[in-house]
């Protein structure tokens, strides 16, 4: 198992010393994190490394996954979209199903911990079904800059019971809540199968296994098939790139999250839009969930795209930067915290399809610029977005609370 000791040589010694120093004050404190999927998406990705490391350092941490029927996840996906600004009809049925799933989960989930962290809207109403004996924190990973007003008014009734809300960006702080907001940026594990070093041979092996040829330069977007990630826009811009630069191929890699029922529908739309290029082998769509594959793709690609319309933080960008990849991404959500335009990648407005195409072509043709971006991007991630920093943020938070 990976432990804090494995971070020697990756992060500065000072960081490791701080972790041990802060953790001793938290001996015997128990925290639990609750979210609604164990696979797919950034939250599951983070918790799967964060929880074992917390335990390793001596703070008892648990992870519970909320169960739900497909109807519940369809409703909470609508909530997710509406929190990012979509319209929603908040019917009686949706409210009832939302509460019922939470009430059921509470009947078989005992929470004796000293701190409870609830991730995203799915388990938010759980707080209704417990006697509140400890601090509860709502950790929202979504872009809350313009939430749908009706939904926000409804969810506020639950949020108001919490002691704190954690978001990824100061733009997501809501003034109409008398609750402390805190900003904590997400982080990645440099040692996980998704992010660890791979040899050229390993990369080649993985790509071969998934039938991804390397005879042309690879451009990749790794993201759930979700409208906010704009996979259809990626197809559109790739068509422009392809006109000027024949020697390239697009890979769209998007596994399906268990709490995201829209994925299949969007995948089918993308498939239709890209059909002729899929047939010619110039576009490859992948739906398998495999960390080695994501790792190999991020390392083998000449350019990584993240053309999101909205993005809570964008861990895929962090992962790509960590691998020294050249990234062309939208100037939305947490992405500008990660990339300085023209220094460690390119940032564009998501609507600027021509701009995206132009930057991608430039990087395909200028390997030295791509390398320069890669070096700057990796160092920025090392300093700011590795798991040790997230551990420290949570431990400092706990120290403030207890």
- Residues within the interface to ligand UDP (CB under 6 A): 41-42, 45, 194, 222-224, 253-255, 289, 294, 312-316, 319
CB of 107 to ligand UDP, least distance (A): 29
CB of 298 to ligand UDP, least distance (A): 8
Strands of the 327-330 sheet, one edge to the other: 283-286, 248-253, 217-222, 303-306, 327-330, 346-348
Q: In angstroms, what is the minimal distance from the CB of 394 to ligand UDP?
A: 18
Chain CA centroid to CA 366, Å: 29
Q: Which helix (H) or strand (E) holds 156?
A: helix 149-159
Nearer to ligand UDP, 127 or 253 (CB): 253
As a whole number of angstroms, the distance between CA 328 and CA 346 comes to 5
Q: Which of 124, 136, 34 is nearest to 80 (CA)?
A: 124
Structure-block tokens of residue 325 = 């990849």
Least distance in angstroms from the C-beta of 304 to ligand UDP: 11
CB of 255 to ligand UDP, least distance (A): 4
Assess contact for 259 and 34: CB atoms under 8 A: no
Q: Please, what is the Cα angle at 51 between 70 and 81, to 5 degrees?
A: 35
**Closest separation between CB of residue 319 and ligand UDP, Å?**
5
Q: Which is nearer to ligand UDP, 36 or 223 (CB)?
A: 223
Nearest residue to 122 via CA among 90, 150, 158: 158
Rounded CA-CA distance 395/245 in Å is 49
Closest to ligand UDP by CB, 16 or 315: 315
Query: Residue 229: beta bridge partners?
Result: none
If the CB atoms of residues 47 and 253 are measured against ligand UDP, the closer one turns out to be: 253
Among residues 7 and 228, whose Cβ is nearest to ligand UDP?
A: 228
Nearest approach in angstroms of CB 22 to ligand UDP is 26
Least distance to ligand UDP from the beta carbon of 58, Å?
A: 26
Nearer CB in complex with ligand UDP: 114/238:
238
> Is there a contact between 142 and 80 (Cβ–Cβ < 8 Å)?
yes
Which lies closer to ligand UDP via its Cβ, residue 68 or residue 231?
A: 231
CA distance 255 to 268: 13
Cα–Cα distance, 46 to 61 (Å, whole number): 13
Write the DSSP symbol of residue 161: T
Give the three-state DSSP class for 42: helix
Residue nearest to ligand UDP (CB): 42
**Beta bridge mates, 386:** 188
User: Nearest approach, Cβ of 139 to ligand UDP (angstroms)?
Assistant: 13
Q: Identify which of residues 240 and 285 has a Cβ nearer to ligand UDP in the complex.
A: 285
Q: Which is nearer to ligand UDP, 251 or 361 (CB)?
A: 251
Residue closer to ligand UDP, measured from CB, 314 or 374: 314
- Rounded-to-integer distance, Cα 248 and Cα 304, Å: 12
Measured from the CB of residue 41, what is the shortest distance to ligand UDP in angstroms? Answer: 4
Instruction: Tell me whether residue 35 or residue 388 sits nearer to ligand UDP (CB atom).
Output: 35
Query: What is the smallest separation between the CB atom of 276 and ligand UDP, expressed in angstroms?
Result: 23
Centre a 10 Å sphere on the Cβ of residue 360 and count the other Cβ atoms it contains. 27
Decide: 28 and 58 in contact? Cβ < 8 Å: no
Nearest Cα neighbor of 232 from 293, 303, 308 is 308
Let me know: does 114 contact 54? Beta carbons within 8 Å: no
Compute the C-alpha angle 294/190/284, nearest 5°.
10
């Amino acid at each position: 198992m990976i432990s804090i000791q494995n971070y020697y040589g990756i992060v500065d010694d000072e960081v490791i010393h701080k972790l041990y120093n802060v953790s001793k004050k938290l001996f015997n404190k128990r925290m639990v994190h609750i979210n609604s999927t164990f696979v797919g998406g950034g939250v599951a990705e983070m918790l799967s490394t964060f929880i074992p490391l917390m335990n390793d350092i001596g703070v008892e941490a648990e992870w519970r996954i909320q169960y739900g029927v497909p109807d519940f996840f369809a409703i909470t996906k609508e909530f997710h979209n509406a929190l990012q600004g979509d319209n929603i009809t908040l019917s009686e049925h949706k409210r009832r199903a939302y509460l019922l799933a939470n009430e059921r989960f509470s009947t078989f989930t005992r929470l004796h911990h000293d701190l409870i962290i609830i991730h995203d809207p799915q388990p938010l109403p759980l707080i209704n079904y417990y006697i509140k004996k400890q601090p509860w924190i709502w950790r929202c990973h979504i872009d809350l800059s313009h939430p749908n007003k009706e939904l926000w008014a409804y969810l506020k009734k639950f949020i108001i019971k919490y002691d704190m809300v954690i978001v990824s960006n100061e733009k997501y702080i809501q003034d109409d809540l008398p609750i402390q907001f805190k900003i904590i940026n997400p982080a990645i594990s440099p040692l996980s199968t998704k992010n660890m070093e791979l040899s050229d041979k390993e990369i080649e092996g993985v790509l071969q296994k998934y039938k991804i040829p390397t005879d042309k330069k690879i451009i990749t977007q790794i993201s759930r098939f979700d409208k906010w990630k704009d996979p259809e826009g990626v197809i559109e811009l790739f068509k422009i790139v392809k006109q000027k630069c024949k020697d390239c191929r697009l890979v769209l890699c998007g596994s399906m999250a268990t709490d995201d029922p829209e994925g299949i529908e969007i995948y089918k739309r993308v498939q239709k839009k890209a059909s002729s290029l899929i047939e010619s082998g110039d576009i490859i769509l992948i739906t398998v969930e495999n960390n080695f594959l994501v790792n190999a793709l991020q390392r083998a690609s000449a350019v990584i795209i993240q053309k999101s319309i909205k993005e809570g933080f964008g861990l895929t960008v962090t992962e790509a930067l960590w691998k020294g990849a050249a990234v062309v991404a939208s100037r939305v959500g947490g992405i500008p915290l990660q990339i300085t335009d023209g220094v460690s990648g390119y940032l564009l407005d998501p609507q600027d399809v021509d701009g995206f195409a132009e930057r991608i072509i430039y990087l395909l043709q200028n390997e030295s610029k791509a390398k320069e971006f890669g070096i700057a991007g990796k160092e920025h991630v090392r300093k700011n977005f590795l798991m040790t920093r997230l551990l420290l943020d949570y431990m400092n938070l706990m120290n403030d609370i207890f």
